Amino acid sequence: MGELPILSVTTFLPVIGALVILGFRIVAGANFAGGASKGVALVVSLATLAASLIALSRFDFGASGFQLVESAPWFAGSSYKMGVDGMAISLIVLTTALTPLCILQSMKSIENRLADYMICFLILEALMIGVFCALDMMLFYVFFEGGLIPMFIIIGVWGGKNRLYAAFKFFLYTFLGSVLLLVALIYMYMVSGTTDIVALQNYPFTKDVQTWLWLAFFASFAVKLPMWPVHTWLPDAHVEAPTAGSVVLAAVLLKMGGYGFLRFSLPMFPDASLLFQPLMFALSVIAIVYASLVAFRQTDIKKLVAYSSVAHMGFVTLGIFSFNEAGIQGAIFQMISHGIISGALFFCVGVIYDRMHTRDIAFYGGLVHRMPVYAALFMLFSMANVGLPGTSGFVGEILTMVGGFQASTWVAAGAALGVILSAVYMLTLYRRAVFGEMTNEKLFDIKDVTPVEFFILGLLAVGTLVLGVYPSLAFDLTKQSTADILRLIGK
Protein backbone atom coordinates (compact mmCIF):
# COMPACT_ATOMS: atom_id res chain seq x y z
CA MET A 1 0.00 0.00 0.00
CA GLY A 2 1.47 3.30 1.08
CA GLU A 3 -1.08 5.26 -0.89
CA LEU A 4 -3.35 7.74 0.83
CA PRO A 5 -7.01 6.78 1.02
CA ILE A 6 -7.69 9.56 -1.45
CA LEU A 7 -11.47 9.54 -1.25
CA SER A 8 -11.47 9.94 2.51
CA VAL A 9 -8.88 12.67 2.21
CA THR A 10 -11.03 14.50 -0.33
CA THR A 11 -14.11 14.11 1.81
CA PHE A 12 -12.63 15.16 5.14
CA LEU A 13 -10.20 17.88 4.11
CA PRO A 14 -12.98 20.49 4.29
CA VAL A 15 -13.85 19.28 7.81
CA ILE A 16 -10.28 19.92 8.88
CA GLY A 17 -10.56 23.40 7.42
CA ALA A 18 -13.77 23.95 9.33
CA LEU A 19 -12.10 22.82 12.54
CA VAL A 20 -9.21 25.24 11.99
CA ILE A 21 -11.62 28.13 11.56
CA LEU A 22 -13.51 26.99 14.63
CA GLY A 23 -10.21 26.95 16.49
CA PHE A 24 -9.48 30.54 15.46
CA ARG A 25 -12.95 31.53 16.49
CA ILE A 26 -12.55 30.07 19.97
CA VAL A 27 -8.99 31.24 20.53
CA ALA A 28 -8.94 34.61 18.81
CA GLY A 29 -12.57 35.68 18.63
CA ALA A 30 -15.11 36.08 15.86
CA ASN A 31 -13.59 39.18 14.29
CA PHE A 32 -10.17 37.70 13.75
CA ALA A 33 -11.64 34.38 12.68
CA GLY A 34 -13.83 36.17 10.11
CA GLY A 35 -10.76 37.57 8.41
CA ALA A 36 -8.72 34.43 8.70
CA SER A 37 -11.57 32.20 7.56
CA LYS A 38 -11.38 33.70 4.08
CA GLY A 39 -7.88 32.48 3.50
CA VAL A 40 -8.35 29.18 5.28
CA ALA A 41 -11.55 28.30 3.47
CA LEU A 42 -10.12 29.19 0.10
CA VAL A 43 -6.91 27.26 0.62
CA VAL A 44 -8.75 24.25 1.99
CA SER A 45 -11.27 24.20 -0.82
CA LEU A 46 -8.46 24.42 -3.36
CA ALA A 47 -6.64 21.59 -1.61
CA THR A 48 -9.85 19.57 -1.77
CA LEU A 49 -10.08 20.28 -5.47
CA ALA A 50 -6.50 19.09 -5.86
CA ALA A 51 -7.26 15.92 -3.90
CA SER A 52 -10.28 15.18 -6.07
CA LEU A 53 -8.13 15.67 -9.17
CA ILE A 54 -5.58 13.23 -7.80
CA ALA A 55 -8.42 10.77 -7.29
CA LEU A 56 -9.46 11.40 -10.88
CA SER A 57 -5.93 10.79 -12.12
CA ARG A 58 -5.89 7.42 -10.37
CA PHE A 59 -9.23 6.49 -11.80
CA ASP A 60 -9.22 3.93 -14.60
CA PHE A 61 -11.75 5.17 -17.19
CA GLY A 62 -12.15 1.83 -18.88
CA ALA A 63 -12.75 -0.37 -15.84
CA SER A 64 -16.16 -1.50 -14.74
CA GLY A 65 -17.44 -1.32 -11.15
CA PHE A 66 -16.28 0.82 -8.25
CA GLN A 67 -12.70 1.98 -7.84
CA LEU A 68 -10.44 3.52 -5.20
CA VAL A 69 -12.39 1.47 -2.69
CA GLU A 70 -11.65 1.95 1.01
CA SER A 71 -13.33 -0.14 3.64
CA ALA A 72 -13.35 -0.43 7.43
CA PRO A 73 -15.95 -1.99 9.75
CA TRP A 74 -18.29 0.49 11.31
CA PHE A 75 -21.21 -0.28 13.63
CA ALA A 76 -24.03 -2.80 13.62
CA GLY A 77 -22.91 -4.69 10.53
CA SER A 78 -22.50 -1.58 8.42
CA SER A 79 -19.08 -0.49 7.31
CA TYR A 80 -17.24 2.65 6.41
CA LYS A 81 -16.91 1.90 2.73
CA MET A 82 -16.02 4.46 0.08
CA GLY A 83 -15.55 4.05 -3.65
CA VAL A 84 -16.47 5.74 -6.88
CA ASP A 85 -17.49 5.02 -10.41
CA GLY A 86 -17.29 7.45 -13.32
CA MET A 87 -20.62 9.07 -12.53
CA ALA A 88 -19.71 9.63 -8.89
CA ILE A 89 -16.27 11.04 -9.54
CA SER A 90 -17.53 13.44 -12.16
CA LEU A 91 -20.07 14.80 -9.67
CA ILE A 92 -17.34 15.00 -7.01
CA VAL A 93 -15.12 17.07 -9.28
CA LEU A 94 -18.11 19.29 -10.07
CA THR A 95 -18.55 19.84 -6.32
CA THR A 96 -14.91 20.49 -5.53
CA ALA A 97 -14.52 22.79 -8.52
CA LEU A 98 -17.55 24.91 -7.66
CA THR A 99 -16.86 25.25 -3.94
CA PRO A 100 -13.77 27.50 -4.24
CA LEU A 101 -15.78 29.77 -6.55
CA CYS A 102 -18.58 29.89 -4.00
CA ILE A 103 -16.14 30.75 -1.24
CA LEU A 104 -14.56 33.45 -3.37
CA GLN A 105 -17.97 34.95 -4.00
CA SER A 106 -19.05 34.72 -0.37
CA MET A 107 -16.01 36.63 0.93
CA LYS A 108 -17.42 39.82 -0.53
CA SER A 109 -21.11 39.29 -0.24
CA ILE A 110 -21.52 37.76 3.24
CA GLU A 111 -21.45 40.61 5.69
CA ASN A 112 -22.02 39.07 9.09
CA ARG A 113 -20.68 36.04 10.94
CA LEU A 114 -18.34 35.15 8.12
CA ALA A 115 -16.38 32.58 10.12
CA ASP A 116 -19.53 30.65 11.01
CA TYR A 117 -20.62 30.81 7.42
CA MET A 118 -17.35 29.37 6.17
CA ILE A 119 -17.54 26.56 8.71
CA CYS A 120 -21.01 25.68 7.49
CA PHE A 121 -19.94 25.84 3.92
CA LEU A 122 -16.93 23.59 4.32
CA ILE A 123 -18.92 21.02 6.24
CA LEU A 124 -21.56 21.15 3.54
CA GLU A 125 -18.87 20.45 0.96
CA ALA A 126 -17.58 17.47 2.93
CA LEU A 127 -21.04 15.98 3.21
CA MET A 128 -21.76 16.47 -0.49
CA ILE A 129 -18.55 14.72 -1.47
CA GLY A 130 -19.33 11.97 0.99
CA VAL A 131 -22.71 11.32 -0.60
CA PHE A 132 -21.04 10.52 -3.91
CA CYS A 133 -18.31 8.40 -2.31
CA ALA A 134 -20.36 6.29 0.07
CA LEU A 135 -20.67 2.62 -0.80
CA ASP A 136 -22.57 1.72 2.32
CA MET A 137 -26.24 2.57 2.77
CA MET A 138 -25.89 3.80 6.36
CA LEU A 139 -22.91 5.91 5.45
CA PHE A 140 -24.79 7.28 2.49
CA TYR A 141 -27.76 8.10 4.66
CA VAL A 142 -25.61 9.99 7.13
CA PHE A 143 -24.04 12.11 4.41
CA PHE A 144 -27.29 12.51 2.50
CA GLU A 145 -29.34 13.73 5.43
CA GLY A 146 -26.45 15.44 7.14
CA GLY A 147 -26.15 17.73 4.15
CA LEU A 148 -29.53 19.19 5.01
CA ILE A 149 -28.33 20.66 8.25
CA PRO A 150 -25.66 23.08 7.01
CA MET A 151 -27.93 24.05 4.11
CA PHE A 152 -30.78 24.63 6.53
CA ILE A 153 -28.52 26.83 8.63
CA ILE A 154 -27.18 28.74 5.63
CA ILE A 155 -30.69 29.60 4.51
CA GLY A 156 -31.98 30.21 8.01
CA VAL A 157 -29.14 32.44 9.19
CA TRP A 158 -27.79 34.20 6.11
CA GLY A 159 -30.99 34.17 4.07
CA GLY A 160 -33.40 36.93 3.05
CA LYS A 161 -36.52 38.29 4.72
CA ASN A 162 -38.68 35.20 4.49
CA ARG A 163 -35.88 32.83 5.37
CA LEU A 164 -37.73 31.11 8.17
CA TYR A 165 -40.68 30.20 5.98
CA ALA A 166 -38.33 28.91 3.29
CA ALA A 167 -36.20 26.94 5.71
CA PHE A 168 -39.29 25.46 7.29
CA LYS A 169 -40.69 24.43 3.93
CA PHE A 170 -37.36 22.96 2.89
CA PHE A 171 -37.24 20.99 6.11
CA LEU A 172 -40.83 19.76 5.91
CA TYR A 173 -40.47 18.33 2.43
CA THR A 174 -37.09 16.73 2.89
CA PHE A 175 -37.99 15.39 6.30
CA LEU A 176 -40.90 13.43 4.89
CA GLY A 177 -38.65 11.88 2.27
CA SER A 178 -35.95 11.11 4.79
CA VAL A 179 -38.20 9.23 7.15
CA LEU A 180 -39.45 6.96 4.40
CA LEU A 181 -35.92 6.43 3.12
CA LEU A 182 -34.73 5.43 6.58
CA VAL A 183 -37.56 2.97 7.04
CA ALA A 184 -36.74 1.44 3.67
CA LEU A 185 -33.06 1.17 4.55
CA ILE A 186 -33.78 -0.60 7.81
CA TYR A 187 -36.12 -2.99 6.06
CA MET A 188 -33.54 -3.74 3.38
CA TYR A 189 -30.95 -4.47 6.03
CA MET A 190 -33.30 -6.82 7.84
CA VAL A 191 -34.13 -8.72 4.66
CA SER A 192 -30.69 -8.92 3.11
CA GLY A 193 -28.45 -8.68 6.15
CA THR A 194 -26.16 -6.13 4.58
CA THR A 195 -25.91 -2.43 4.01
CA ASP A 196 -23.24 -2.75 1.38
CA ILE A 197 -24.41 -0.95 -1.76
CA VAL A 198 -22.64 -3.27 -4.19
CA ALA A 199 -24.14 -6.31 -2.47
CA LEU A 200 -27.58 -4.71 -2.42
CA GLN A 201 -27.36 -3.87 -6.11
CA ASN A 202 -27.12 -7.58 -6.76
CA TYR A 203 -29.62 -8.68 -4.13
CA PRO A 204 -32.79 -10.15 -5.65
CA PHE A 205 -35.68 -8.36 -3.95
CA THR A 206 -39.07 -9.78 -4.89
CA LYS A 207 -41.30 -7.70 -7.12
CA ASP A 208 -43.72 -6.67 -4.38
CA VAL A 209 -40.96 -5.65 -2.04
CA GLN A 210 -39.29 -3.74 -4.85
CA THR A 211 -42.44 -1.71 -5.42
CA TRP A 212 -42.67 -0.52 -1.83
CA LEU A 213 -38.97 0.11 -1.49
CA TRP A 214 -38.92 1.96 -4.80
CA LEU A 215 -41.71 4.23 -3.59
CA ALA A 216 -39.89 5.00 -0.37
CA PHE A 217 -36.70 5.91 -2.23
CA PHE A 218 -38.76 7.84 -4.74
CA ALA A 219 -40.24 9.99 -1.98
CA SER A 220 -36.78 11.05 -0.92
CA PHE A 221 -35.15 11.50 -4.31
CA ALA A 222 -38.16 13.16 -5.94
CA VAL A 223 -38.14 15.85 -3.25
CA LYS A 224 -34.41 16.37 -3.62
CA LEU A 225 -34.40 16.60 -7.40
CA PRO A 226 -37.10 18.13 -7.19
CA MET A 227 -39.86 16.63 -9.29
CA TRP A 228 -43.32 17.98 -9.81
CA PRO A 229 -45.44 18.17 -7.60
CA VAL A 230 -42.99 18.27 -4.69
CA HIS A 231 -40.93 21.10 -6.15
CA THR A 232 -42.42 24.12 -4.44
CA TRP A 233 -39.81 24.25 -1.71
CA LEU A 234 -37.11 24.98 -4.26
CA PRO A 235 -38.15 28.45 -5.48
CA ASP A 236 -38.57 29.64 -1.90
CA ALA A 237 -35.30 28.13 -0.77
CA HIS A 238 -33.45 29.72 -3.69
CA VAL A 239 -35.04 33.10 -3.20
CA GLU A 240 -34.04 33.25 0.43
CA ALA A 241 -30.63 31.58 0.23
CA PRO A 242 -27.50 33.71 -0.15
CA THR A 243 -25.91 33.54 -3.58
CA ALA A 244 -23.39 30.81 -2.87
CA GLY A 245 -26.08 28.79 -1.11
CA SER A 246 -28.23 28.95 -4.21
CA VAL A 247 -25.31 27.95 -6.37
CA VAL A 248 -24.55 24.86 -4.33
CA LEU A 249 -28.20 24.03 -3.93
CA ALA A 250 -28.83 24.10 -7.67
CA ALA A 251 -25.50 22.78 -8.80
CA VAL A 252 -24.93 19.92 -6.38
CA LEU A 253 -27.72 19.22 -3.91
CA LEU A 254 -30.34 18.70 -6.59
CA LYS A 255 -28.05 16.22 -8.30
CA MET A 256 -28.28 13.91 -5.28
CA GLY A 257 -31.81 13.03 -6.37
CA GLY A 258 -30.71 12.01 -9.84
CA TYR A 259 -27.68 10.26 -8.40
CA GLY A 260 -29.93 8.38 -6.01
CA PHE A 261 -32.17 7.10 -8.78
CA LEU A 262 -29.17 5.88 -10.75
CA ARG A 263 -27.28 4.39 -7.81
CA PHE A 264 -30.19 2.81 -5.95
CA SER A 265 -33.61 2.77 -7.57
CA LEU A 266 -32.59 1.43 -10.96
CA PRO A 267 -30.01 -1.21 -10.01
CA MET A 268 -31.68 -2.40 -6.81
CA PHE A 269 -35.31 -2.32 -7.95
CA PRO A 270 -35.22 -2.86 -11.70
CA ASP A 271 -38.69 -4.38 -11.92
CA ALA A 272 -40.28 -1.61 -9.94
CA SER A 273 -38.37 0.99 -11.99
CA LEU A 274 -39.83 -0.48 -15.13
CA LEU A 275 -43.27 -0.57 -13.55
CA PHE A 276 -43.11 3.10 -12.64
CA GLN A 277 -41.54 4.21 -15.91
CA PRO A 278 -44.79 5.73 -17.23
CA LEU A 279 -45.31 7.67 -14.02
CA MET A 280 -41.77 9.00 -14.09
CA PHE A 281 -42.15 10.00 -17.72
CA ALA A 282 -45.38 11.81 -17.01
CA LEU A 283 -43.91 13.64 -14.04
CA SER A 284 -40.81 14.54 -16.07
CA VAL A 285 -42.77 16.04 -18.94
CA ILE A 286 -45.12 17.85 -16.58
CA ALA A 287 -42.10 19.26 -14.77
CA ILE A 288 -40.58 20.46 -18.03
CA VAL A 289 -43.68 22.11 -19.46
CA TYR A 290 -45.31 23.26 -16.23
CA ALA A 291 -42.18 24.72 -14.67
CA SER A 292 -41.24 26.44 -17.91
CA LEU A 293 -44.64 28.10 -18.15
CA VAL A 294 -44.47 29.16 -14.51
CA ALA A 295 -40.95 30.49 -15.02
CA PHE A 296 -42.27 32.64 -17.86
CA ARG A 297 -44.55 34.49 -15.44
CA GLN A 298 -42.10 35.14 -12.62
CA THR A 299 -41.25 38.63 -11.50
CA ASP A 300 -38.48 37.54 -9.17
CA ILE A 301 -35.31 36.74 -11.04
CA LYS A 302 -34.21 33.99 -8.65
CA LYS A 303 -37.59 32.31 -8.74
CA LEU A 304 -37.39 32.29 -12.50
CA VAL A 305 -34.02 30.56 -12.47
CA ALA A 306 -35.31 28.16 -9.80
CA TYR A 307 -38.30 27.12 -11.89
CA SER A 308 -35.97 26.75 -14.82
CA SER A 309 -33.99 24.31 -12.67
CA VAL A 310 -37.10 22.26 -12.06
CA ALA A 311 -37.69 22.09 -15.80
CA HIS A 312 -34.12 21.09 -16.52
CA MET A 313 -34.13 18.39 -13.89
CA GLY A 314 -37.14 17.00 -15.72
CA PHE A 315 -34.75 16.13 -18.53
CA VAL A 316 -32.62 14.22 -16.01
CA THR A 317 -35.45 11.97 -14.86
CA LEU A 318 -36.63 11.59 -18.44
CA GLY A 319 -33.22 10.32 -19.46
CA ILE A 320 -32.77 8.07 -16.46
CA PHE A 321 -36.06 6.28 -16.94
CA SER A 322 -35.62 5.75 -20.66
CA PHE A 323 -33.33 2.84 -19.65
CA ASN A 324 -30.99 3.18 -22.60
CA GLU A 325 -27.47 4.39 -23.18
CA ALA A 326 -28.33 7.72 -24.77
CA GLY A 327 -30.85 8.52 -22.06
CA ILE A 328 -28.66 7.67 -19.07
CA GLN A 329 -25.48 9.16 -20.49
CA GLY A 330 -27.54 12.22 -21.32
CA ALA A 331 -29.01 12.37 -17.81
CA ILE A 332 -25.61 12.22 -16.13
CA PHE A 333 -24.28 14.80 -18.54
CA GLN A 334 -27.30 17.00 -17.95
CA MET A 335 -26.61 16.86 -14.20
CA ILE A 336 -23.03 18.04 -14.69
CA SER A 337 -23.99 20.62 -17.27
CA HIS A 338 -26.87 21.96 -15.21
CA GLY A 339 -24.48 22.21 -12.28
CA ILE A 340 -22.31 24.58 -14.26
CA ILE A 341 -25.06 26.55 -15.97
CA SER A 342 -27.46 26.99 -13.06
CA GLY A 343 -24.53 27.74 -10.81
CA ALA A 344 -23.40 30.40 -13.25
CA LEU A 345 -26.89 31.86 -13.53
CA PHE A 346 -27.17 32.17 -9.75
CA PHE A 347 -23.76 33.81 -9.67
CA CYS A 348 -25.04 36.21 -12.33
CA VAL A 349 -28.06 37.03 -10.20
CA GLY A 350 -25.74 37.47 -7.24
CA VAL A 351 -23.71 40.08 -9.11
CA ILE A 352 -26.64 42.44 -9.48
CA TYR A 353 -28.20 41.49 -6.15
CA ASP A 354 -25.01 42.45 -4.33
CA ARG A 355 -25.19 45.86 -5.99
CA MET A 356 -28.91 46.63 -5.75
CA HIS A 357 -30.28 44.23 -3.11
CA THR A 358 -33.38 43.40 -5.07
CA ARG A 359 -34.37 40.47 -7.21
CA ASP A 360 -37.31 42.22 -8.83
CA ILE A 361 -36.90 41.95 -12.58
CA ALA A 362 -38.87 45.13 -13.14
CA PHE A 363 -36.33 47.08 -11.08
CA TYR A 364 -33.66 46.37 -13.66
CA GLY A 365 -33.60 47.00 -17.39
CA GLY A 366 -30.93 48.40 -19.67
CA LEU A 367 -28.06 46.88 -17.70
CA VAL A 368 -26.16 46.40 -20.94
CA HIS A 369 -25.48 50.14 -21.08
CA ARG A 370 -23.50 50.13 -17.86
CA MET A 371 -22.38 46.49 -17.67
CA PRO A 372 -21.41 45.28 -21.14
CA VAL A 373 -19.13 42.48 -19.91
CA TYR A 374 -21.77 41.26 -17.51
CA ALA A 375 -24.34 41.39 -20.30
CA ALA A 376 -22.16 39.26 -22.56
CA LEU A 377 -21.57 36.62 -19.89
CA PHE A 378 -25.21 36.57 -18.87
CA MET A 379 -26.14 36.14 -22.53
CA LEU A 380 -23.82 33.18 -22.83
CA PHE A 381 -25.31 31.45 -19.81
CA SER A 382 -28.84 32.25 -20.94
CA MET A 383 -28.08 30.59 -24.24
CA ALA A 384 -26.53 27.62 -22.47
CA ASN A 385 -29.69 27.40 -20.38
CA VAL A 386 -31.90 27.27 -23.45
CA GLY A 387 -29.71 24.50 -24.80
CA LEU A 388 -27.97 26.16 -27.70
CA PRO A 389 -25.73 23.68 -29.52
CA GLY A 390 -22.11 24.38 -28.73
CA THR A 391 -22.91 24.79 -25.04
CA SER A 392 -23.15 21.91 -22.60
CA GLY A 393 -26.88 22.54 -22.16
CA PHE A 394 -27.58 21.18 -25.62
CA VAL A 395 -25.71 17.92 -25.15
CA GLY A 396 -27.72 16.78 -22.15
CA GLU A 397 -31.06 17.85 -23.57
CA ILE A 398 -30.68 16.24 -26.98
CA LEU A 399 -29.38 12.97 -25.56
CA THR A 400 -32.09 12.64 -22.94
CA MET A 401 -34.69 13.38 -25.61
CA VAL A 402 -33.15 10.88 -28.02
CA GLY A 403 -33.24 8.35 -25.19
CA GLY A 404 -36.78 9.29 -24.26
CA PHE A 405 -37.98 9.03 -27.85
CA GLN A 406 -36.90 5.42 -27.93
CA ALA A 407 -39.15 4.70 -25.00
CA SER A 408 -42.07 6.98 -25.84
CA THR A 409 -42.57 9.48 -28.65
CA TRP A 410 -45.13 11.37 -26.58
CA VAL A 411 -42.58 12.01 -23.91
CA ALA A 412 -39.99 13.21 -26.38
CA ALA A 413 -42.50 15.54 -28.00
CA GLY A 414 -43.49 16.96 -24.63
CA ALA A 415 -39.89 17.51 -23.65
CA ALA A 416 -39.15 19.15 -26.98
CA LEU A 417 -41.99 21.56 -26.25
CA GLY A 418 -40.02 22.57 -23.18
CA VAL A 419 -37.12 23.49 -25.43
CA ILE A 420 -39.31 26.11 -27.10
CA LEU A 421 -40.58 27.38 -23.76
CA SER A 422 -37.11 27.73 -22.27
CA ALA A 423 -36.30 30.20 -25.04
CA VAL A 424 -39.45 32.13 -24.19
CA TYR A 425 -38.77 32.63 -20.49
CA MET A 426 -35.01 33.08 -20.74
CA LEU A 427 -35.09 35.63 -23.55
CA THR A 428 -37.94 37.49 -21.90
CA LEU A 429 -35.93 37.71 -18.71
CA TYR A 430 -32.87 38.89 -20.59
CA ARG A 431 -34.83 41.44 -22.47
CA ARG A 432 -36.44 42.87 -19.33
CA ALA A 433 -33.30 42.91 -17.20
CA VAL A 434 -30.48 43.61 -19.59
CA PHE A 435 -31.81 45.12 -22.83
CA GLY A 436 -33.97 48.18 -23.26
CA GLU A 437 -33.47 51.72 -22.03
CA MET A 438 -32.12 52.22 -18.55
CA THR A 439 -34.91 54.18 -16.90
CA ASN A 440 -34.40 53.43 -13.21
CA GLU A 441 -32.25 56.21 -11.78
CA LYS A 442 -30.91 53.97 -9.05
CA LEU A 443 -29.14 51.94 -11.69
CA PHE A 444 -27.26 54.83 -13.24
CA ASP A 445 -24.12 54.22 -11.18
CA ILE A 446 -24.11 50.45 -11.35
CA LYS A 447 -20.64 49.05 -12.04
CA ASP A 448 -19.64 46.23 -14.33
CA VAL A 449 -18.25 42.95 -12.98
CA THR A 450 -15.24 43.08 -10.66
CA PRO A 451 -12.14 41.04 -11.53
CA VAL A 452 -13.18 38.35 -9.04
CA GLU A 453 -16.67 38.10 -10.50
CA PHE A 454 -15.21 38.04 -13.98
CA PHE A 455 -12.88 35.24 -12.94
CA ILE A 456 -15.72 33.16 -11.50
CA LEU A 457 -18.07 33.63 -14.43
CA GLY A 458 -15.29 33.33 -16.96
CA LEU A 459 -14.24 29.93 -15.64
CA LEU A 460 -17.80 28.68 -15.76
CA ALA A 461 -18.18 30.05 -19.28
CA VAL A 462 -15.13 28.11 -20.37
CA GLY A 463 -16.58 25.05 -18.66
CA THR A 464 -19.90 25.14 -20.44
CA LEU A 465 -18.28 25.82 -23.82
CA VAL A 466 -15.60 23.15 -23.51
CA LEU A 467 -18.11 20.53 -22.44
CA GLY A 468 -20.45 21.69 -25.18
CA VAL A 469 -17.87 21.32 -27.93
CA TYR A 470 -16.05 18.29 -26.57
CA PRO A 471 -18.48 16.41 -24.30
CA SER A 472 -16.34 13.27 -24.54
CA LEU A 473 -14.49 14.67 -21.54
CA ALA A 474 -17.49 13.58 -19.52
CA PHE A 475 -18.71 10.71 -21.69
CA ASP A 476 -15.41 8.89 -21.33
CA LEU A 477 -15.93 8.98 -17.59
CA THR A 478 -19.56 8.01 -17.51
CA LYS A 479 -19.63 5.48 -20.32
CA GLN A 480 -18.66 2.56 -18.12
CA SER A 481 -20.96 3.55 -15.24
CA THR A 482 -23.82 3.73 -17.72
CA ALA A 483 -22.97 0.28 -19.02
CA ASP A 484 -22.84 -1.01 -15.42
CA ILE A 485 -26.25 0.43 -14.62
CA LEU A 486 -27.76 -0.96 -17.81
CA ARG A 487 -26.27 -4.36 -17.05
CA LEU A 488 -27.73 -4.33 -13.52
CA ILE A 489 -31.21 -3.58 -14.77
CA GLY A 490 -30.85 -6.24 -17.44
CA LYS A 491 -31.02 -3.99 -20.48
Partner 1 sequence: MAFQDLAAIFIVLSPGIAAAIAGLGQRVLGDKGSMAITTGILVLAAALASVVFYNQVFGHHEGPAHGHTLTLMRWFDVGTFVADWAIRIDTLSVVMMFVVTAVAALVHIYSIGYMADDPHRARFFAYLSLFTFAMLMLVTADNFIQLFFGWEGVGLASYLLIGFWYKKPSANDAAIKAFVVNRVGDFGFALGVMALVFVMQVPAEFLGADGKPTVAYLEMLHVEKYSSIGFDTVFNAIVANAPVQPIGATSAVPIQQVTFDFLGQHVWGLEVIGVLLFIGAMGKSAQVFLHTCLPDAMEGPTPVSALIHAATMVTAGVFLVCRCSYLYEHTVVAANVVTVIGAVTCFFAATVGLAQNDIKRVVAYSTCSQLGYMFFAAGVGAYQAAMFHLFTHAFFKALLFLSAGAVIHGMHHEQDMRNMGGLRKKMPLTWAMMLIGTLALTGVGIPGIEQLHYGFAGFYSKDAIIESAYASHDTFAQFAFWLSIVAAFLTSFYSWRLMFMTFEGKTRADHHTYDHAHDPPVSMALPLVLLAVGAVAAGGVFYSAFVDHHQAEFWGSAIFNGPENHVLHDRHEVPFWVLVAPAMAWISGLVFAIIFYLLAPSVPRKMAAHGGPMHSFLSHKWYFDEIYHFVFVRGAALLGDLFWKVGDKKLIDGIGPDGVTGVAKASAGGLSKLHTGYLFHYALVILLSAVVFAAFVLLGQGR
Q: Which residues bind partner 1 (CB under 8 A)?
A: 168-169, 172-173, 229-230, 232-233, 277-279, 281-283, 286, 290, 293-298, 324-326, 329-330, 366, 368, 376, 383, 388-390, 394-395, 398-399, 401-402, 405-413, 416-417, 419-421, 423-424, 427-428, 431, 435-437, 469-472, 475
> Among residues 186 and 469, whose Cβ is nearest to partner 1?
469
Task: Output 28 or 413, the one with its CB closest to partner 1.
Answer: 413
For partner 1, the closer CB: 106 or 329: 329
From CA 254, how far away is CA 308, in angstroms rounded?
Answer: 13
Nearer to partner 1, 23 or 390 (CB): 390
Q: In whole angstroms, how close is the CB of 41 to partner 1 at the nearest point?
A: 32
Q: CA of 273: how far to CAs of 218, 276, 408, in Å?
A: 10, 5, 16
CB of 390 to partner 1, least distance (A): 6
Smaller CB distance to partner 1: residue 154 or 395?
Answer: 395
Closer to partner 1 by CB, 149 or 416: give it. Answer: 416
Residue 23 beta carbon to partner 1: minimum distance, rounded to whole angstroms: 38
Residue 379 CB, nearest approach to partner 1 (Å): 8
Least distance between partner 1 and beta carbon 241 (Å): 17
> Smallest distance from the beta carbon of 451 to partner 1, in angstroms?
15
Closest approach of partner 1 to the CB of residue 53, in Å: 23
| Closest distance to partner 1 from the beta carbon of 123 (Å) | 26
CB of 32 to partner 1, least distance (A): 40
Q: Which is nearer to partner 1, 297 or 447 (CB)?
A: 297
Task: Between 413 and 452, name the residue whose CB sits nearer to partner 1.
Answer: 413
Dihedral angle sign, alpha carbons of residues 305, 310, 316, 318: negative
Closest CB to partner 1 among residues 189, 454: 454
